[in-house]
A and B are shown apart, each in its own frame.
Chain A
Amino acid sequence: MEGQTTNPWLIMAINMTVVFAVLILLGVLMEIIHMIDPTKKKKVESAAPVAAAPVAAAPVAAAPTTVATTNDEKVVAAIVGAVVAMGYSSEQIASIRPTATSAQWRLDGRLSGRN
């Protein structure tokens, strides 16, 4: 206990400094991970057409590009229509996917995203 500070402002300053320093270093580590990512280039190439889809096409037409193989297009169109009706623009709908799904569906989505 010797040497332990009881000055609240000093404790506050030390703690805030440590929290900021740790999170900034974590940010640096994240940038390093991004830089050394061996899958990055491949991902950017495959992501480009997907990112362009919502801007280039109408939402109802764009959405099925990622899910048409596994979902009913009418269901997708209905969901997109409902989201647009809530006040969100078509540019904001990039894709539709179920939130609670089987692991198989998730794995399938990840694999199709990688290709």
Chain B
Amino acid sequence: MDAFIVAITSVWTDSGFSAFQPGNAIMILVGLVLLYMAFVKEFEPLLLGPIAFGCVLANIPRNGFEEGVMALISAGISHEIFPPLIFLGVGAMTDFGPLIANPKTLLLGAAAQFGVFIALAGAMVIGFTPQEAGAIGIIGGADGPTSIYLATKLAPRLLGAIAVAAYSYMSLVPLIQPPVMKLFTTQKEREIVMEQLREVTRFEKVVFPIVTTIFISLLLPSVTSLVGMLMLGNLFRESGVTARLADTSENALINTVTIFLATGTGLTMSAEHFLNLDTILIICLGLVAFIGGTAAGVLFGKVMSMVDGGKTNPLIGSAGVSAVPMAARVSQIVGAKANPANFLLMHAMGPNVAGVIGTAVAAGTMLAILAPK
């Protein structure tokens, strides 16, 4: 009988139940809510699903994640392996043609980065260190991999909150952006039909990623892995002779890495790291950054429209916040609602991919200015 009691006691003391804290319960509940949003409401299920499940797993006490595959997944994030691999796939999926055909949309991508710096300034004002503020600000770029990349370098302790805020707001793009877009534009502006883009040659599409990589990497070497992988993926796509590599990058590889990156992000959401005031502040600052970036893009679009005599529909400015291609799709939807004959998708892809480059440049600039030397 004694042996039986000892065995049962041993099972109990080794179990997660004996170490279960109220914080774990709260975070598991958060994970379940996120799972509901991912699988029932279908808010970015491919990302939010694994993040939510990772959150549940991270809050099981004594889970033994210090070693094994979960430790490897966590290392893939902390050693900045996954974000560049995601960028490889994003590059293979992205058509830079609309941007090359209309280079002035680069300015919209730059303007939308204003949200990043609003959040940076706000975070510093409320007491975060400059490094932490930089990592928080990049949420406004609506670029998950870049947010994780910068957070691991500038503010590792805030990684979970920053990643969750970035991906949550990315999934909420269709809900957050339209009211802001409508607030800053008139019906007449939303109805503007843009001219068809010029043809972009294969030469331009192949030379662009090579030149961009060399130029940005020389200027901001700290983001070479991000920009380099983005452009390498795009080169696979555009070269016309590496179809197999492009196919792997844009399908098998990015899907595999997304599972690891998203699950690993969820694993950072343990109660002891996540349940604090900083997390709430980061979530709020992220929303400010996102709204600020959207507003700045639209307002710059209005300026551009005034300068070019009404040829630019300001709605494409909101796509400058990255979130490829969802932000461009939102521009298309809002534009089509104002004028059913309006077809803004390809025009919005210009600022959208400019936003990806702009966010990487913003991250590189912040690393150059703020990273501990």
Contacts and interface: CB of A to CB of B under 8 A. Distances in A.
A22 interface: yes
B361 A22 contact: yes
A55 B232 CA distance: 37
B354 A23 contact: yes
B120 A8 contact: yes
B44 interface: no
Contacts of A18: 361, 365
A5 B366 CA distance: 12
Interface string B238-271: 0010011011000000000000000000000000
Contact of A43 (B201, B362, B373): B201
A71 interface: no
Contacts of B247: 103
A87 B338 CA distance: 12
Interface in A5-64: 5-6, 8-9, 11-12, 14-16, 18-20, 22-27, 29-31, 33-34, 37-40, 43-44, 47, 51
Nearest to B366: A15
B370 A92 contact: no
B216 interface: yes
Given A9-B121, A18-B365, A92-B343, A30 B358 contact: no
B106 interface: yes
A106 interface: yes
A15 B203 contact: no
B65 interface: no
A11 B120 contact: yes
Contacts of B199: 43-44, 47, 51
Interface residues of B, number: 54
Nearest to A114: B202
A1 interface: yes
A50 B196 CA distance: 13
Given A4-B370, A15-B366, A39-B202, A23 B114 contact: no
B373 A1 contact: yes
Contacts of A23: 106-107, 109-110, 354, 357-358, 361
20 contacts: A4-B369, A8-B120, A11-B124, A11-B369, A15-B117, A15-B362, A15-B369, A20-B107, A22-B220, A27-B107, A30-B106, A31-B103, A34-B204, A43-B199, A94-B196, A103-B244, A103-B246, A106-B243, A110-B202, A110-B240
